[in-house]
Chain A
Amino acid sequence: MADIKVDNVRKVFGKTVANRNVSLTISDREFMVLLGPSGCGKTTLLRGIAGLEQIDAGRIHIGGRDVTDLPPRQRRIAMVFQSYAVFPHLTVYENIAFGLRMQRLPDSEVKRRVQAAADLLQIANLLDRYPAQVSGGQRQRVAVARAIAVQAEVLLMDEPLSNLDALLRLEMRAELKRLMQEVKSTVVYVTHDQVEALSLGDRIAVMKDGAILQCDTPLKVYDYPATDFVGGFIGNPPMNFLAGRVNGDAVTAGGVDLPLPVAVRARLSNGQVRLGIRAENIEASAMPVKGALTGKVLVIEPLGSHNLLTVQVGEECVKVNTHADSVFHPGQTIRLKLASDKIRWLNRESGQAIG
């Protein structure tokens, strides 16, 4: 059992607050992704869990044990670094064996575990080489093999794929996912890449300015962002936001009245609201449609699987996904029908979601 409890953790570097009272509970064998832009404190939080960074306040529990004051080696964790941190003076074999040798395991056991880890990562043919003699992608595999060989209960990964080129990253992402289902560790994975977060995580904790804005399953985070920042950070293109004004039972946005859910209306104070909607939940058509917004096509970007339109609606720009064979042209006036059950309602000032 290795659940992780991060309780009110605070970390300050000089005048910058890297973690402002972060709390997070990660269940045993869960794959948790910490996602956020650079400087949001996600790596600091990971290093706090690893014990590489002393936290200023709060407690950290791993598997029910308070590890706040323990050094990394007593936390039963393993870590994969962004730079891989493969030891250049040791062979691939000795790199993977490093943690096992520190545990003073007998040679036969070391050999068995190194072989198993190397097989899992398909680097068994490189064991005699030095890190300088293998490629970047292979070095990455060495780093992962070294971490899983110790069979730690908790596996921490700090942007492990960010130094790989795009194609290799795609391949390694799928492989990591398969691997993590096999090793059965609790995983905390730091990344700034929202696609990586969506594809790998059981849950995603979205961070900004040292705080967690939302922590939920990938689909929930994608469909129901807790704030406008989360909606804008996750998804490609980012979520569209439109200003709306409450008008009786409805909301006027983009020149048309949209139905306003009762629960949302009850929580609105000043008649101002913001609505967020994903590009794929907007239907574009050249014909007039009842209850649809009117806009002018600015740009059409064919992306193979679909076309991405940038449409001007009033003062605002909206991104819309259309079929690859759709026939719009720039300058054309079109109608945009929003899927009303997919609209996310947000407070216009704070950006917080209402419903």
Chain B
Amino acid sequence: MKPSAATLRVLGRALTYALAILMALWVLVPIYLIGVAAFSEQLAVYQYPRPFFPAPFSTETMLFFLQSGGVMASVRSSVVVALITLILSTLIGAPAGYAIARYVFRGRDSFRILVVSTRAFPIVILSIPLAVTFIRWGMYDSVYSLALMHTALALPFTILITSSVFASVPRDLEEAAMTLGCNQLQAFLRVALPLALPGLAAATLFTFVLSWNEVFAAVILTVRNRTLPALVLTVLDVSPLPYRFAGGFFMLAPSLVFMLFIRKYLFNLWGRVTK
């Protein structure tokens, strides 16, 4: 008997969902296991088979990690770097995004591509010249210079996200404000900015996560003022298992939470890029 079209459709959907679930599990199960290990007692980490629930629940492992040498200092460095990156890239990137969204100017499309193509240079190749330059300019091993580097890395994303955010605010609204007595700046501040604010917040959060997670430039450009990922990476192979699990979870958590908040805007961005 030939299967009907309806059966095929149901089958197709089931297959799609099965694949989606499989991919989600592929990513989520390790994250979950890291979380379980991070909130178990230290010895539980060595148990086999792995427990699927933290039993008993304990913050001992996390505390052990946070109290290890240099961790709190590097967390502070990470936050400082991420905040500076967030501020700089928003200050530079948001106006660029606005310009791309609003104005038709010569070379606009080339500019868009140029912005993205900066990410085509692998940082691995750039890292040695960068380190040399930073040393020569006396900027080496500083959270501020690392923040500059992160800003450069984050800017393409900031520009793309903010331009899609501003593009979603109809131009009519700003024009209406201008016919009602606003100059261009007032129209922007009173109409476009309030409407773009949630999207801009998403863009800045994304920048924060980008900087928080970035490890390669951080390893190359800092020695004593390490950010958290840089520190964890360099001590990874000489540290005990509980340290690794707790460190992994601690680095993962903010990214996951932020991504959850801003996923709507990220979908928007990808949608625009592929269109």
Contact = CB atoms under 8 A, between A and B. Distances in A.
Interface of A: 50-52, 71-73, 77-79, 81, 83, 85, 87-89, 98-99, 102-103, 146, 150, 156
Which of B175, B181, B191, B195 has the largest count of A CB atoms less than 10 A from its CB?
A: B181
B179 A72 contact: yes
Contacts, number: 57
A83 B169 CA distance: 13
B170 A85 contact: yes
Contact of A150 (B172, B180, B194): B180
A52 B180 contact: no
Nearest to B173: A85
A44 to B, nearest CB: 14
B182 interface: yes
A89 B191 CA distance: 8
Interface in B132-190: 170, 172-173, 175-184, 186
A78 B177 CA distance: 10
Nearest to B194: A89
Contacts of A103: 181
Contact of A81 (B175, B191, B194, B195): B175
21 contacts: A52-B179, A71-B178, A71-B184, A72-B175, A73-B178, A73-B180, A73-B181, A73-B182, A73-B183, A78-B180, A79-B179, A83-B172, A85-B172, A85-B175, A87-B173, A88-B173, A89-B194, A98-B180, A99-B180, A150-B181, A156-B179
Contacts of B191: 87, 89
A99 B178 CA distance: 9
A228 to B, nearest CB: 36
Given A85-B172, A88-B195, A98 B179 contact: no
Contacts of A72: 175, 178-179
A52 B187 CA distance: 13
Nearest to B180: A99
A71 B180 CA distance: 11
Which of A72, A78, A81, A89 has the largest count of B CB atoms less than 10 A from its CB?
A: A72
B177 A52 contact: no
Interface string B70-113: 00000000000000000000000000000000000000000000
B182 A78 contact: no
Given A85-B170, A88-B195, A79 B176 contact: yes
Given A71-B183, A73-B183, A52 B170 contact: no
